[in-house]
Structures are given as C-alpha cells and as structure tokens.
Amino acid sequence: MHVKSDTQVLVSRVIPVEPFDLVIFGGTGDLAQRKILPALYRRFRAGQIPQGARVIGAARAVMDHVGWCQFVSDALDEYLGQDEQEARAGFLAMLEYVTLDALGDEGWADLAGRLGAGRVRAFYFSVAPRLFAPLAERLHRFGMATAECRLVVEKPFGRDLASARSLNHDLAQHFDEGQIYRIDHYLGKETVQNLMAIRFGNMLFEPLWNSQYVDHIQITVAETVGVEGRGEYYDRAGAMRDMVQNHLMQLLCLIAMEPPAKFEPDAVRDEKLKVIRALDPVLAKDVVRGQYRAAGARPSYTEHVGNAGSDTESFVALRARISNWRWAGTPFYLRTGKRLQARASEIAVVFKETPHSIFGPEAGRHRNVLSIRLQPNEGIDLGVTIKEPGPGGMRLVDVPLDMTFAQALGADGHAVADAYERLIMDVIRGNQTLFMRGDEVEAAWAWTDPIIAQWEQAEHRVEEYDTGSAGPEGAHALIARDGRAWREIRA
Ligand code: BG6
C-alpha cells in the first residue's frame, strides 16, 4: 500500500478566502504563541491568507504596534524557527494590537472602530472560560456582534454539565449557534478526519464495522510530557476532564457513529451526538485512575502540581459500552495519560478471529487489526494474516499493510498541517463540521459527570505508576479481566 509513483503523490490544495479580520483575545498568551500565531503564519506562507486580512491581538498588556510585531516575531522564531525575512515582513504587516480590558470598558470602542464592514470577523477567545461571557456581552454592547461575526471558543468548555450549560446560555444571549465554533483540536488532526474518509469513502470496512465482526476497539492517547507549567489548572481538572471528556470522546464518536447522509456540519454532529447518548453509564469497577511517580530528577505528579495530598489523575483507563444495534457487545477501551513510555496516539479496531481455522491448531489464532495512528507518524495500517514465506508447511504470520501519510504526501510535501491551521481557516470559511455543537458538549459532560462523582463519593483512590511505563497495574487488570490486552504504546 506504499504510494510511490509521482502520479500518486497527494498534493494539498489551498482554498482561497476573502480578506477577514481575526481578533485574538488573549493574544499575548501561551496558546497564541504556541499554536494560533504559528498556524496563521503557516497558512500565510501557504498563500491562503489574502492581502488585506488582519490579525488583531487584544489583551490587557500595554503594547504598541512595534512591540506586538516583536512579540509575534519572537513566537514564530521559537515555534517555527527563523525563515526568510521577506515573508515574515508580509505577515507582520497584517498585524494590529489593541490594549483592552475584558472586564471593563477600556479599549472596546477602539477595537470596534478598527473592524472592516461587511467582511468576516472572527473573535478567538483564547482566555480563561470565566471571561467568555464578559467578552460576548461587550462584543454585543459595542456593536461588533454582526451577522458576519464568529466566535472561536477554546477548551475547557466548562468543568461539568452545569457550568457548560451556563456557558452555552451566556453565549446564546448574543450569538446564534451557527456563529459559535467550539474548538477540540483533535478534530483538526489529519488522521482524525481521515477516519471519516476511510469509513465512508471505502466499501471495504463498513460492512464489517459492527459487533458481529469487531471484537473490541482501543483508543489510546499517550503522552510523555508531565503537567509542566499547567499544574494549577490540571490539578483541578485531571485526565478525565482534560482529555477524555473532549478528545477521546470525539474519537469514540467518529469511530462509532452511523454514516451521516452528507458530510455537512449538522449531519455529522447529529450522528456523533447519538453515539454519546447511547453510551452506558460507566461503573466504578470499569475505570482506573493513576498518578505518575518521580523518576530521578523528574518530579512526581504531586510534586509537579505542588499538592502533596492531590487525588487528581494524570492517567485514566476505562471500558465503555455503546447500547445500540451496531455496537451492543463490543467493548471500547479508552486510556490516556502523561509521562508514559512514548508519545503515541492510536485507535485500534481489533476484529474477531475467523470462525474456524482450516490450518489446524499449529497455525495459531490470528486477528486483523486496523490501526489508525494519530501521532506521531500519522497513518494507517491493517494487520493481515499471510503464509510465512518459504517451505516447511503452512505457518501463518501477521504482517502490516502500512500506509504512512508522510510517504503518500511526498518527501517535500508540507505533509500534515497542524490542527490549528485547518480549524482556524474553517472558521474563516464558515464550516462548522469539525467543531463541537453546544448539545454535544453538554451530552459529553452528562456522561462524564457521574464517573467523576463516583470517585468523589466512594473509595476510589488513584494508583501510582512509573514514569516511562504503560500506566498503572490496574489498567492492565481492567482489560485482562475480559481476556484481552492493551496494545503496546510505541512511537
Ligand atoms: C490538550 C490538553 O487539550 O491536549 C493537554 O489540555 C494535552 O493536557 C494536549 O497535553 C495534547 O494535545 P496533542 O495535540 O499534543 O496530542
């Protein structure tokens, strides 16, 4: 399945957009530096951001135009490396900056005066959730909430159902659902979208995509990083709120949903919502939580967050079940954690064994596994069983049919765009397919809340695990109980 010939090299296309105004609230923050600004610059370099578009930083910091350009330039140096000054100058020429008080009135009239009439205006809320409502209210009060206006809202979108509902309610005071783009950056990852192409663009898989043929599905998002500088936020969230409620559940939805009639925002989101609503409640015995231990000079989780008695999980594994016709009887095992042995995210669809082996017991039992690698090394491989080459009887081996996207896209291909590049341009183009709808987020919290509540009520301690391991012992026991095993976490 290696794609080799020139004619088969896949080329990324640039879809043109009209000039727009993008305002980044929290323009001097960490996410703007690490993700938003580099993503915009890469789209600019790809020729997708037209002359006349503007990127307006808005934050509390007092800064002039020159200071903002320097700030952005430093961020690009740090996260993308230095490149030709000429291209850089073109991008910096699009920048403007407004000092603004999210909780007061300072700066708002200035911002309103800068926006162009009749063009798309996107407001990126790259700030703490407590500022979402005040920002939305001021956009409305200062006359900026026009029909062309779009809000981009970062996670966390609430910390439970009640807070997510209240955020949805606050935004709905001034904006329609069609104007709200709730980001889950996993939906912008190349392979995640490819999941839909593989399922609904091929005849090969869909007939087998159900509990009759699929033994179980594993979703793993493993990281090697710890909580780094985000201890304060993370210790109040934990892996369940930080990763499972959003990223892993989105993956689960895409892998389990029914085919939408069209690849259109609400058609896709309706199907995802049905999956979440069909999820059974998770029993306490089907969830394992873990916290990483110290390793040499590397601090333990509790040292990292500066809270010796912390009961927050940096790892979670669980067994989920979807009660519908397609999936009744097929378990979905989900796990995610920090400080694990490799940075590796994958979805593995493990098919059932053949009903009968004509090759006798010596040939062993074999299963096809379709593995969808999100990162690193984005790609897909399908494990198939073949005869071991050579004489000596019929011995069977499992070999991968490997399609690594970097190969298919060509060596020089600016192969896989960062999720933020795609998502920001989708906002500008007005395409909500890869964004979460309000009812979807609420349904995800409605499923997650009781799991977290069980931990708070019952004796459900976190288990420690070694840095660099595959997680706590309990996670292995969880799946071994069903006579199965986790796949190796391998980059
Ligand atoms: C974020 C989480 O949403 O996703 C982080 O808050 C996590 O804790 C990150 O590290 C992982 O994203 P990625 O793209 O590196 O897999």
Per-residue pLDDT, 389: 87
Candidate of 34, 247, 305, 436 to mutate for ligand 1, largest count of ligand atoms within 8 Å of Cβ: 247
For strands 332-337 and 315-320, give the pairing.
antiparallel
Q: Tell me the backbone φ, ψ of residue 127, rounded to 5 degrees.
A: -140, 175
Per-residue pLDDT, 7: 39
Does the C-beta of 223 come closer than 6 Å to ligand 1? yes
CA–CA separation, 219 and 332 (whole Å): 8
Average pLDDT over residues 368-384: 91
Q: What is the pLDDT of residues 147-164, one digit of tens each?
A: 999 999 998 899 999 999
412: confidence class by pLDDT, cuts 50, 70, 90: very low
Give the residue, 194 or 249, on which the prediction is more confident: 249
CB 372 within 8 A of CB 405: no
363: confidence class by pLDDT, cuts 50, 70, 90: confident
Candidate of 232, 243, 347, 420 to mutate for ligand 1, largest count of ligand atoms within 8 Å of Cβ: 243
Q: How far is the CA of 464 from the centre of ligand 1 (A)?
A: 21
CA–CA separation, 253 and 356 (whole Å): 32
Residues of the chain above pLDDT 70, percent: 95
Mean pLDDT of the chain: 91
CB 73 within 8 A of CB 104: no
Domains of the chain: 20-154 (3.40.50.720), 187-429+438-480 (3.30.360.10)
Q: How far is the CA of 37 from the centre of ligand 1 (A)?
A: 17
CA–CA separation, 463 and 457 (whole Å): 17
Reduced to 3 states, what is the DSSP secondary structure of residue 128? coil
Minimum mean pLDDT among 45-49, 417-421, 445-449, 477-481: which range?
A: 417-421
User: From the alpha carbon of 419, which atom of ligand 1 is closest?
Assistant: 14
458: confidence class by pLDDT, cuts 50, 70, 90: low
Structure tokens given for 310: 């912390």
Average pLDDT over residues 240-257: 97
The helix (H) or strand (E) run that includes residue 334 is strand 332-337
Q: Which of 60, 63, 94 is nearest to 76 (CA)?
A: 94
pLDDT of residue 1 exceeding 80, the answer is: no
Q: Which residues contact 112 (CB under 8 A, 6 or more apart)?
A: 142, 143, 144
Does the C-beta of 190 come closer than 6 Å to ligand 1? no
Average pLDDT over residues 200-229: 95
Catalytic residue of the set 247, 304, 460, 476: 247
Does the C-beta of 235 come closer than 6 Å to ligand 1? no
How crowded is residue 140: how many other Cβ atoms within 10 Å of its Cβ? 14
CB 288 within 8 A of CB 273: no
User: From the alpha carbon of 186, which atom of ligand 1 is closest?
Assistant: 14
Q: How far is the CA of 441 from the centre of ligand 1 (A)?
A: 18
Does the C-beta of 421 come closer than 6 Å to ligand 1? no
Answer yes or no: 247 catalytic: yes
Supply angle C-alpha 231, 183, 169, rounded to 5: 95
User: From the alpha carbon of 155, which atom of ligand 1 is closest?
Assistant: 3
Give the orientation angle of helix 65-80 with respect to helix 37-45, to 10 degrees.
80
How crowded is residue 86: how many other Cβ atoms within 10 Å of its Cβ? 7
pLDDT of residue 353 exceeding 80, the answer is: yes
Show the 3-state SS of 137-164.
Answer: HHHHHCCCCCCCEEEEECCCCCCCHHHH
Q: How far is the CA of 426 from the centre of ligand 1 (A)?
A: 20
Reduced to 3 states, what is the DSSP secondary structure of residue 166? helix
Give the residue, 394 or 423, on which the prediction is more confident: 423
Average pLDDT over residues 296-325: 95
| Number of residues written out for the chain | 491
375: confidence class by pLDDT, cuts 50, 70, 90: confident
Q: Write the single-letter amino acid at 160.
A: D
Give the residue, 415 or 342, on which the prediction is more confident: 342
pLDDT of residue 410 exceeding 60, the answer is: no
267: confidence class by pLDDT, cuts 50, 70, 90: very high
Q: Whose CA is nearest to atom 6 of ligand 1?
A: 242
Q: How far is the CA of 388 from the centre of ligand 1 (A)?
A: 41
CA–CA separation, 476 and 488 (whole Å): 11
pLDDT of residue 393 exceeding 70, the answer is: yes
Q: Whose CA is nearest to atom 8 of ligand 1?
A: 242
Does the C-beta of 242 come closer than 6 Å to ligand 1? yes
Per-residue pLDDT, 416: 59
CB 380 within 8 A of CB 370: yes
8: confidence class by pLDDT, cuts 50, 70, 90: very low
Q: Tell me the backbone φ, ψ of residue 474, rounded to 5 degrees.
A: -55, -30
pLDDT of residue 372 exceeding 70, the answer is: yes
Give the residue, 404 or 383, on which the prediction is more confident: 383
Does the C-beta of 378 come closer than 6 Å to ligand 1? no
pTM of the model as a whole: 0.93
Q: Whose CA is nearest to atom 2 of ligand 1?
A: 242
- Chain centroid, CA 360 distance in Å: 44
Reduced to 3 states, what is the DSSP secondary structure of residue 4? coil
Q: Which of 110, 163, 162 is nearest to 133 (CA)?
A: 163
12: confidence class by pLDDT, cuts 50, 70, 90: low
CA–CA separation, 230 and 269 (whole Å): 31
Does the C-beta of 154 come closer than 6 Å to ligand 1? no
Q: Which of 71, 40, 45, 34 is nearest to 55 (CA)?
A: 40
Average pLDDT over residues 49-76: 94
Candidate of 153, 240, 242 to mutate for ligand 1, largest count of ligand atoms within 8 Å of Cβ: 242
Per-residue pLDDT, 409: 60
Q: What is the pLDDT of residues 80-112, one digit of tens each?
A: 887 777 788 999 999 999 999 999 999 999 999
Q: Whose CA is nearest to atom 5 of ligand 1?
A: 242
